[in-house]
Structure 1
């Protein structure tokens, strides 16, 4: 394919926790996608995208990347003069990796050493994650590199700790009653301010302790249960995780979602959690009975991403 598509990503588990060395689990999400295209730059969207990429190319030119992970910046800049832009329907500020897909597309097109997701080894993944962190830090400060890595690999990724990641196999579940779904909060979230709130909270010893002793424990247990298809303990740990976030991540929960979050905990019909940094964008929902949850969440725009 001349212009490969790069899909959005969803961080199922690990938001904020991965900053403090918890595990994480991410999936590609093909509903949203983007690719590099050429045009006469007739529309405002195309012009703006091209202009942003021109600025980004200047940033990339200033980087000192490892030899095996270098980029052909001259070719990138020449293509921009020919009218290249990033054609994407991935919403920005929704926690689904809009900048990650862009970084992945640029890396795929301009990297000197070509790698394929099928043959890449664990050590390369680790190095690639670091490089992607540097490439993405232009967009919203310090980046772990996870978002572009998922978009680039187009495979589910298990984040084992701060440095280590590995490919995992998550088969699409049987068409059962259960579902993982997205809820649109109806407002855009900004990553920077939310992360600032989190770092302020980390200054509190009590918060650091509950994050480590409770949040990270529930988070890692959910990942383990999910990968092993142990759904009864999965929902038990998920409720604890959802309740912990309700208590400690209140500033990150969009106001429009707050009552629905509480209602899920009280009725056990579904449980909600942050999708990315929160503050807006999408919220993740999990339920054993989607039909029931859908009725209870009437009025919200929802998208099912996984059935079981």
Structure 2
């Protein structure tokens, strides 16, 4: 009998891109428009998407094998007591890969929507030797999940905070404060207030942008000051206002963050999005910000006039997707 695996949604990093590296808070929500799950091909074995997924899974398998080969891996170093909470049953995973296992996903890749995070969550859920329950909200379990997932997802991005796979694995909104993760809920927004996704029309690679950001932090003192002393405070303030439902102040705080990102994250904003970004700041109908590492993929927007915002993008031949938080 073929095993049926759990489905995992994508994710959206509402706040914390880049500043999470320098210690800001972060807020990640499930993106329920997209999902993926492990599966086996039936008649479409030569489907190009399936073949691409299988190649990716095999490369991930090799990565996990190498990790667990070196002194029982970095994953074992974050386990509790004698419980190998982070170790993957590689023998069983290898057997299932031989049977044609792949990741059937609607999550767009290199879009900041959690394609790798959902895959990490799926592999851990299906093949971890002694997995942490996805419904657990214990502080120590959340911390361990983040540490485990950080090691696993680093295969795809070079480095990973681990917070995105935690969101995908639990299916809950995740709030990071310091080293601690909490599940949380966003207060009900007024009917007219909406977050939305704007599609840049091109993919964005995470690793080179993160490397560029880190290099600039180490060489540009003025930039470091902006990130650590200004942008980090703005991000934390936006998260606080959103979680507490203080929406009358939230729009103004987000506007300030948007202006600062436009000024200092220019390489992460592609031309098709930049023109909308500037128009939003000028007309104050909507506000755009980064959604993940930028460079392409989705960008996050916020508006208190969804109809006018949709029309603005539609007239330019672009479509946006409203989010239900």
- TM-score between both structures, scaled by the size of structure 2: 0.90
Matched, 1:99 2:112: no
2:234 counterpart residue number: 218
Contact 1:177 1:291 in 2 (8 A): no
Q: Which of structure 1's runs of 4+ aligned residues deviate more than 3 A?
A: 171-174
Instruction: Give distance in 1, aligned partners of 2:25 and 2:251.
Output: 18
Give CA deviations for 1:4-34 in whole Å, capped at 9, x if unaligned.
Answer: 1111000000000101000110100111111
Tell me how far 1:193 sits from its aligned partner: 1.7
From the superposition, tell whether residues 171 and 75 of structure 1 become closer, same or farther in structure 2 (CA, over 3 Å). farther
Gaps of 5+ in 1: none
Look up the SS of the partner of 2:60 in the other structure.
helix
Name the stretch that deviates more: 15-24 or 63-72.
63-72
Matched, 1:34 2:36: yes
2:214 counterpart residue number: 199
Tell me how far 1:118 sits from its aligned partner: 2.4
Tell me how far 1:2 sits from its aligned partner: 2.4
Contact 1:172 1:306 in 2 (8 A): no
Name the stretch that deviates more: 56-65 or 122-131.
56-65
Look up the SS of the partner of 2:85 in the other structure.
helix
Name the stretch that deviates more: 185-194 or 277-286.
185-194
Contact 1:173 1:306 in 2 (8 A): no
Instruction: Give distance in 2, aligned partners of 1:269 and 1:10.
Output: 22
Give CA deviations for 1:159-201 in whole Å, capped at 9, x if unaligned.
Answer: 112x221111235545x11110000011111112211221232
Look up the SS of the partner of 1:157 in the other structure.
strand
2:23 counterpart residue number: 21
Instruction: Give distance in 2, aligned partners of 1:2 and 1:96.
Output: 24
Contact 2:186 2:245 in 1 (8 A): no
- TM-score between both structures, scaled by the size of structure 1: 0.95
**Number of positions where the alignment pairs a residue of Structure 1 with one of Structure 2:** 305
Instruction: Give distance in 2, aligned partners of 1:114 and 1:171.
Output: 31
Instruction: Give distance in 1, aligned partners of 2:56 and 2:275.
Output: 38
Instruction: Give distance in 1, aligned partners of 2:55 and 2:31.
Output: 27
Gaps of 5+ in 2: 68-72, 77-83
Tell me how far 1:44 sits from its aligned partner: 2.0
Look up the SS of the partner of 1:119 in the other structure.
coil
Q: Structure 1 residue aligned with 2:176, among 145, 154, 159? A: 159
Instruction: Give distance in 1, aligned partners of 2:319 and 2:37.
Output: 26
Contact 2:108 2:115 in 1 (8 A): yes
Contact 2:85 2:131 in 1 (8 A): no
Look up the SS of the partner of 1:143 in the other structure.
coil
Look up the SS of the partner of 1:9 in the other structure.
strand
Look up the SS of the partner of 1:69 in the other structure.
coil
Look up the SS of the partner of 1:226 in the other structure.
helix
Instruction: Give distance in 2, aligned partners of 1:143 and 1:223.
Output: 21
1:252 counterpart residue number: 268
Matched, 1:181 2:196: yes
1:300 counterpart residue number: 318
Contact 1:183 1:283 in 2 (8 A): yes
Give CA deviations for 1:226-253 in whole Å, capped at 9, x if unaligned.
Answer: 0011011111110100000011111111
Instruction: Give distance in 2, aligned partners of 1:47 and 1:214.
Output: 46
| RMSD between aligned residues | 1.5
